[in-house]
Chain A
Amino acid sequence: METIETLAQKYTHIRGWGIDADPKNDPTYPIKNRTDAEQRGYSWQRPTQQPIDTEVLRSIERPNVSAVFGTSVPPTGLSGQIRRFAFRFSESEYGHWLPLLLADRVNVVEGLIDDVRQGIVPNIFAEKGMLADWKYNRKNLLQHVLIGAVVTTTILTIMSRTKGPGRA
């Protein structure tokens, strides 16, 4: 590790280099335990690499796949295609984050289709935890149900009128 003295040797051509350096003036202290390790770059002894036996999307801001990674839900389908596109951009780009958010929304529809394919009818009432609403927030729940019923009835009424005789 370079000390302040050896560093100083490097910069003797710059008059006054480091004369006001105060190692205690570190606003990150005590969150960061200063070791100067970061100045040595990507040089640590890396942990064993987890076998890469599934598709892993990697940030283009790093040179490799991290030694361990999660494999909970590999990219699939249309959402997977959008996610692959997003990972062409760095984390500082909207081109990275906005497609990921779009992919999340597409993924929700894919999830519903998958459920139906597997013979699962999603129980939206249970998935939204509405039993808790029934117990602790009943007035609000009933208001929502009522508003939903009125909106649905109105839409159905309008639709049935537009399909009525004489409008072909």
Chain B
Amino acid sequence: MLAMNYRGPRRVRIDSKPYPEIKHPEDAIVRVTRSCICGSDLHLYNGNVPDTRVGSTFGHEFIGIVEEVGPEVHKLKIGDQVLVPFNIACGKCSFCQQGLYGNCHESNTEATAVGGIFGYSHTAGGFDGGQAEFVRVPYANFGPTVIPPGMDPDDAVLLTDVVPTGYQAAEMGGIQPGDTVVVFGAGPVGIMAARCSWLFGAGRVIVIDQVDYRLEFVRNYAPCEAYNFNEMDDPVVFVKKITDWMGADVCIDAVGAEAAGSPLQTITGRKLLLQAGSATALHWAINSVKKGGIVSVVGVYGPTDNLVPIGNVVNKGLTIRANQASVKRLLPRLIDHIQNGILAPKALITHRVPLEDVADAYNIFANKLDNCIKPVLIPPSARS
């Protein structure tokens, strides 16, 4: 089968790899029909996530058709069209029982902070991902969800990560009616977080990024105020100024380790890898929120130390809430929102690329070429 093959920082290619095996009685094999490249894949692509081994296949956002099931799989059958949450969760451990599906304790043997994630380094379990023709899906009785009849596959694939992550970013903000919410980052998750902030009753939604076409997109899609931080002397002062010098009620970090905007963070975090990527967006979020405010973090950071302004967290009495999205917990509500026309995620998809051209797709997305918001890879068997 064809699969993306990581060869080193900013080098990927398509290769022929062995068809995946059933390795556990609750495994299924899924034939991929759509897979996305996620903003957090870029942390792997750039070599920022430890234990990303040459030969790995990335891809944690995918949908497909059940091709084969293990002997203990009874909730799926061959031929089912499924969306597969990016978290690999057993549904049985104490964390899954609490709805913390991103923190499953039975899916990642190599680290305890995060559960297993498809195609996201050995630090997230060493699973091959969905940027391939076929993929092994563990815990098939729990994670994969049959796509509701009539749902557009492009909407379905975004339910595997982008939509729940953006929604949970807003949810973790504890947004109260009328609150001012500032979202750092106008990538697909930031765009969705801005859109979902309204669903929680925000009174004002502001997005800050440095790429004009993304700002234009979020302004139309969310709809919200959107500003380019390159046109400001200081984004923190800018937020204070436009919030009557108080700061925002809620700030959302939807960027993570790839943040631009601070030379020191870029050198120490992105180039020298001495901390968990650049924490610029996190700094800005902590410093832009009002006293007593809430900072919600869904941006992905690596596992080493951060030069985080923790003193300001204490001095300002902040609440910081952060996690990988618990996709399975949020799916019922989000499916309703899509079916009721409240959310239309497929509008984020700007590029449809044959799986064979995965290297070009990564370059386009990583370097924000051709006004790219979200690329989707289509395997040969799914192209008609």
Contacts and interface: CB of A to CB of B under 8 A. Distances in A.
Interface stretch (A63-71, A146-154, A155-163): A63-71
A99 B125 CA distance: 18
A18 interface: no
B208 interface: no
Contacts of A70: 116, 122, 125-128
A111 B295 CA distance: 41
A78 interface: no
Given A70-B122, A72-B57, A108-B7, A48 B24 contact: yes
B112 A127 contact: no
Nearest to A111: B54
Interface string A78-92: 010001000100010
Interface size grouping (class) on chain A: 35 or more
A45 B23 contact: no
Interface string A39-78: 0100111111011000011110110011111111101000
Contact of B139 (A47, A61, A103, A135): A47
B99 A59 contact: no
Nearest to B363: A129
B88 interface: yes
Interface string B243-256: 00000000000000
Nearest to A53: B23
Contact of B55 (A69, A97, A111): A111
Interface in A111-168: 111-112, 115, 122-124, 126-133, 135-137
Contact of B111 (A45, A59, A103): A59
A139 to B, nearest CB: 12
B364 interface: yes
B52 to A, nearest CB: 6
Residue from A57, A62, A104, A108 with most neighbouring chain B CB atoms (10 Å): A104
A163 B39 CA distance: 48
B46 to A, nearest CB: 11
B11 interface: yes
B369 interface: yes
A104 B94 contact: no
Contacts of B40: none
Given A48-B24, A97-B303, A129-B362, A91 B50 contact: no
A91 B109 contact: no
Nearest to A98: B304
A105 B157 CA distance: 32
Contacts of B24: 48, 50, 67-68
Contacts of B125: 66, 69-70
A32 B52 contact: no
A129 B359 contact: yes
B363 A48 contact: no
Nearest to B141: A47
A128 B133 CA distance: 21
A37 interface: yes
Contacts of B360: 129, 131-132
Interface stretch (B100-108, B144-152, B210-218, B280-288): B100-108
A27 interface: yes
A48 B25 contact: yes
B10 interface: yes
A110 B54 contact: yes
Interface in B1-54: 7-13, 23-27, 47, 50-54
B327 interface: no
Given A73-B55, A73-B56, A104-B53, A128 B363 contact: yes
B13 A127 contact: yes
Given A110-B54, A127-B12, A68 B303 contact: no
Given A94-B304, A127-B13, 16 more contacts: A37-B98, A40-B94, A47-B139, A48-B25, A66-B116, A69-B109, A69-B116, A72-B53, A79-B53, A91-B303, A101-B273, A104-B47, A108-B54, A132-B363, A135-B370, A136-B369
21 contacts: A31-B99, A31-B171, A33-B97, A38-B95, A44-B97, A47-B90, A47-B92, A47-B139, A59-B112, A62-B109, A69-B108, A101-B273, A107-B8, A110-B54, A128-B10, A132-B364, A135-B370, A136-B364, A136-B370, A137-B367, A137-B369
Counting from the closest, the 7 A-B pairs by CB-CB distance are A129-B363, A70-B126, A70-B127, A108-B8, A111-B54, A100-B50, A37-B94
